[in-house]
Structure 1
Amino acid sequence: MNQPDDYPYTTHLNILFPSLSVIDIPSVVSQVQAKWFNQTLCKVNDSVLRLGVMQGEYHWHKHDDDDELFFVLDGRFIIDLEGQSIELEPQQGYVVPKGVVHRTRAPERAVILMMETAAIVPTGDP
């Protein structure tokens, strides 16, 4: 698998909103100019909530030790699995279990939330 630097994604792993603060998603989304943007919003126990603002395709990858939840806030979001594609509309979500090879895509700009362990490598495991 390629190194994370090989991917044209803007990924911020810092926690943007600490505990006891309001999580303001519209303020973050309004500032995004990148085509594929990922920002950790907050940490809850051993998991993080991340915001994705994206258009285009992510690469095929898997996470050996971590499940991953995708939840669409705005737009249309597609999760490709080997042999099928899951299309999500606003207010729909889907869990990709650990070890399952997947690719995500957004034909038009989409805004999604992702819940996963804080230790996950966003670009996938080798």
Structure 2
Amino acid sequence: MNDETYPYATHLDIKFPALATVDVPALVKACTDRWYNQTLCKVNDSVVRLGVMQGEYHWHKHENDDEFFFVLEGHFIIDLEDRSIDLQPHEGFVVPKGVVHRTRAPDRAVILMVETAAIVPTGDA
């Protein structure tokens, strides 16, 4: 999912199967993209994704799915229509389904996301 409309490196393949060690530091170290999203593993009907990001994502929403963001490194901002949430390392936030939002990282940030496996990362609207 890396095209002119959405210039993000989005990898929906499951990188680590069950019973494998999930090596986040190795993926972060190897990352050269400004907006990188890699599915790490699947847990029941959800997935855990790694984001290594700098810059802005577009405004969007997920009509049927909540999203959880958890910051590992850097700081990460979630803009909502009426306010902005500025997350620091080891802080998280849930964006409920149907809520229009935009994420951004002024400097390089490393985050984990938990969402359903069926979610479309770029949003449905």
Q: TM-score, normalised by structure 1?
A: 0.96
Deviation >2 Å, runs of 4+: none
Computed over aligned residues only, the root mean square deviation of the Cα atoms, in angstroms, reads 1.1
Q: 2:120 matched to 1:118?
A: no
Identity, % of aligned positions? 71
Contact 1:54 1:106 in 2 (8 A): yes
- Find the aligned partners of 2:13 and 2:51 in 1 and give their Cα distance: 14
**Partner SS for 1:30:** helix
Which segments of 5 or more consecutive residues in structure 2 lack a partner in the other structure? none
Equivalent residue, structure 2, for 1:49: 48
* Letter paired with 2:46: S
- Find the aligned partners of 1:54 and 1:91 in 2 and give their Cα distance: 16
Contact 1:23 1:41 in 2 (8 A): yes
**Partner SS for 2:30:** coil
CA apart distance, 1:83: 1.3
Q: TM-score, normalised by structure 2?
A: 0.97
Map Cα deviations across residues 3-23 of structure 1 (whole Å, 9 max, x no partner). 973111000000000000000
